[in-house]
Structure 1
Amino acid sequence: MENRILFIAHDGGAYGANQSLINIVSSLKERGVFVTVVFPLRGMICDFFDKNGWDYHIVSFRNELRPKTDGIISYLKNILRVFYKKYLNSLAIKELYDIVDLNKINIIHSNSGVVAIGVALAKNKNIRHIWHLREYIHPSYGLYLFGGIQKYKKRIKRTDNIICITNGVARGFDVVEKAFVLHDAVRKKPIFSKPQPKEKYFLFCSALTKSKGVEEAIDAFSKVVKVNNGYKLLIVGEGSSDYENYLKEKVVKIGLENDIDFLGFRKDVDELMIKATAFLMCSRNEAMGRVTVESMLNFCIVFGYNDSGTAEIVEHNKTGFLYNNENELVNYMSDIITNKEKYEGVTTTAYNYAISNFLEEKFCDNLMNYYDKL
């Protein structure tokens, strides 16, 4: 039977899960598989779909994330959000029924662990559902769920078909025995085939949130630049205006406003990576880390925090370097400035590893096999 797939995205942004969704849709379409996608609102990713002529729909619904409950007022607001979510999603289900019927969909693929509307849709239409788990969900990561995390995890465990992007995510949801672990594809093919001369800057690239470790990158760089004048730290990404202002004020306070540049959202990240002295992956809870793999594909050495998905992808002293505290990160950053040749072999090994494991063709082979076995 021909697979006809409806993907459900958790938002309309152009980061993380939706970047991986682009790779999935691209690879499946190349195989002639019918794919359409539902977004809950129009966002930057829709512009990409428009440019490529890919089919998608905007259906207003709510995912399972809620704001932190902090006092009686926020508690009451979250109760109201529960009722509004149920009401809005009940309307969305009716629109989704029409999309499923019109396109003869036989697989619902929820593209994030925080999207649950696909479960009800698949059950009501009596078709298969896949839950693609991509994130660690925990209050320490700033993520809160309606009904609580433990209840939500139990709901996911009752699902028959689960894909996790790393073994760590599977352990986090306690679904190791039933989950299919499939690392994300991050490219159709690499942009560069050989290294380029390095420039005097370190690169940090991520959504600007506290859990991503941007402050550690700033603090480590502040110690490195004291004895290595002429180097810069480039910070790519966006966050809340409050947190971005806090970071910029912090940089001014430590006197590094001329040494640290906030670049915002950039489309030339590959060019920035291949010329960077090193890439800093400071996140304490990275589920996988697309930018880690992208750095490997761009011959950029990775200094990553030794935990979660980063430690699963980076093999220490072979495809990158793992650090356990800020002092270790400072030491690696200082060492690569004075011993560049020492790291050149690692970038080549990392590039070959990424080519073998994170391109669309291999990913699609594995995904198609999974679909066929459902």
Structure 2
Amino acid sequence: MKILFVTHGPDMMGANRSMLNLIDGLEAYKVDCVILTPGDGKLAANIKSGQKIIISTYYRWAHTQYLSKEYWLNYFLQKKNEKKLNVIAEEIKEHKFDLIYSNSSTIGIGAQLADRLGIPHVWRIREFGEEDYNLSFWKGRKHFIKWANKAAAVSFISKAIQAKFNEQISVPKYCIYNGVISKAGLDKVVPYANKAAFTFLIIGLIHPNKGQFDALVAFHAVHKNFPNSKLLIVGKGRRLYTQKMKQYIANHALSDQVNFLGYVNNPHEVYKKVDCLLMCSKSEGMGRVTIEAMIHGKPVIGYNGGATPELVKHGENGLIYSNSKELSACMTSLLKDRVLAQKYGAKGREMAEDFVTEISVAKEYKAFLDVLD
């Protein structure tokens, strides 16, 4: 079996990290995997030696409404894609792929290549769209749904995302959680109990919909009663949103308690330094970082929306909140009782067994066999 994996970007954010986990796992099934990416970046730098990769410029067909320059230029970008489609099709034709796998709903070129070359297409849908990233699709959502229904199968990363699209997409559908770490890798991770000041972590794309500012405001509220507590913000993203948070920190004299680390290539080192993960996204598609926290034996305080309640069980491996007052209350309860936080973390570590790559890869491979049958 030979598969072309089409990425939506050249970076190493969650979607591409999950894709590389899948590709690594497919080695056991003797699947020949080739990556198509629109640029030379951290993804190309992080692939295994010998991994085949094609770098060819193309553009997403979904962009953040109004705020991104690509949103306003989308008509011209898609015209460029139309021309580039012929070039890429000629380039990949000789590979004789059995499947084309699009790693995000934000790109349409994988679907178009599959249609052009008569190759079965599997679409991995990771995004709600409007709810999580304020996305606007080229020619509208109906155009995306039309193309999704041309796929041989669609794979969703959570039940929450599948529920949104269930009635609109009629082709075979699968719900397969991302595999985050191999079983061997999980066994090597020894949960580390932070003995320094109680530290909360929020990690990922810096974006209003990810809720970093909500976490900051809640931290300010609880910090008054727990002056030794700390908040670590990890990730990169919106410049103005980041500036807004830094201004809030300055205005409330929190610079010694709140730290920005920017993008971190190896987040596993970060988890060793913290006590609890905050998942404040209102519409998280799955929450790879939620699983990473569980792997490291850290409890998660998560918003009651998106797929987060599928992963965080209130009172078992963390706490669920629905508003800012509840978020502060959840943070306070763990600040008061570090033993309880560690108990939730230990349960999360047990639950992390359900998210090893061997399980997700086996399910994805079964879907590929179904498509090719």
Q: Same fold (TM over 0.5)?
A: yes
Q: Is 1:13 matched up with 2:11?
A: yes
After superposition, what is the alpha-carbon deviation per residue over 1:103-142, rounded to whole angstroms, capped at 9, x for unaligned? 2211000010111112221122111101110011117732
Distance 1:7 1:288 in 2: 20
Equivalent of 1:124, from 113, 116, 121? 116
Q: Kindly tell me the number of residue pairs found equivalent between the two proteins.
A: 364
> 1:147 maps to what in 2?
139
Distance 1:273 1:139 in 2: 28
Distance 1:249 1:285 in 2: 26
Contact 1:68/1:144 (8 A) holds in 2: yes
Equivalent of 1:325, from 323, 326, 330? 323
Q: Aligned pair in 2 of structure 1 residues 146, 333: CA closer, same or farther (>3 Å)?
A: same
Displacement, 1:279?
A: 0.7
Displacement, 1:194?
A: 3.8
Q: Is 1:185 matched up with 2:183?
A: no
> 1:87 maps to what in 2?
79
Displacement, 1:286?
A: 0.4
> 1:135 maps to what in 2?
127
> 2:99 maps to what in 1?
107
Counterpart of 1:135, as a letter, is E
After superposition, what is the alpha-carbon deviation per residue over 1:8-45, rounded to whole angstroms, capped at 9, x for unaligned? 00111110211111111111124321000111112211
**4+ residue segments displaced more than 4 Å:** none
Q: Aligned pair in 2 of structure 1 residues 313, 100: CA closer, same or farther (>3 Å)?
A: same
More displaced, 113-122 or 169-178?
A: 169-178
Q: Is 1:293 matched up with 2:291?
A: yes
Displacement, 1:342?
A: 2.1
> 2:45 maps to what in 1?
47
Distance 2:107 2:55 in 1: 15
Counterpart of 1:184, as a letter, is N
Equivalent of 1:56, from 49, 53, 56? 53
Contact 1:67/1:144 (8 A) holds in 2: yes
Distance 1:81 1:323 in 2: 37
More displaced, 174-183 or 335-344?
A: 174-183
Distance 1:140 1:107 in 2: 29
TM-score, normalised to structure 1, is: 0.91
Distance 1:324 1:199 in 2: 29
> 1:196 maps to what in 2?
193
Say which SS state the counterpart of residue 152 (structure 2) adopts: coil
Contact 2:64/2:136 (8 A) holds in 1: yes
Distance 1:313 1:291 in 2: 11
Contact 1:280/1:302 (8 A) holds in 2: yes
Q: Which runs of 5+ in 1 are unaligned?
A: none
Distance 1:236 1:53 in 2: 31
- Name the % identity: 26
- Root-mean-square deviation (CA, aligned residues, Å) is 2.1
Displacement, 1:272?
A: 2.1
User: 1:290-369 maps to which residues of 2 (within 5 A)?
Assistant: 290-355=288-353, 357-369=354-366
> 2:224 maps to what in 1?
226
Displacement, 1:90?
A: 2.7
Contact 2:18/2:180 (8 A) holds in 1: yes
Distance 2:110 2:285 in 1: 22
Distance 1:213 1:143 in 2: 17
More displaced, 273-282 or 195-204?
A: 195-204
Q: Aligned pair in 2 of structure 1 residues 8, 268: CA closer, same or farther (>3 Å)?
A: closer
Counterpart of 1:60, as a letter, is T
Displacement, 1:262?
A: 0.7
Displacement, 1:293?
A: 0.3
TM-score, normalised to structure 2, is: 0.91
Distance 2:62 2:8 in 1: 10
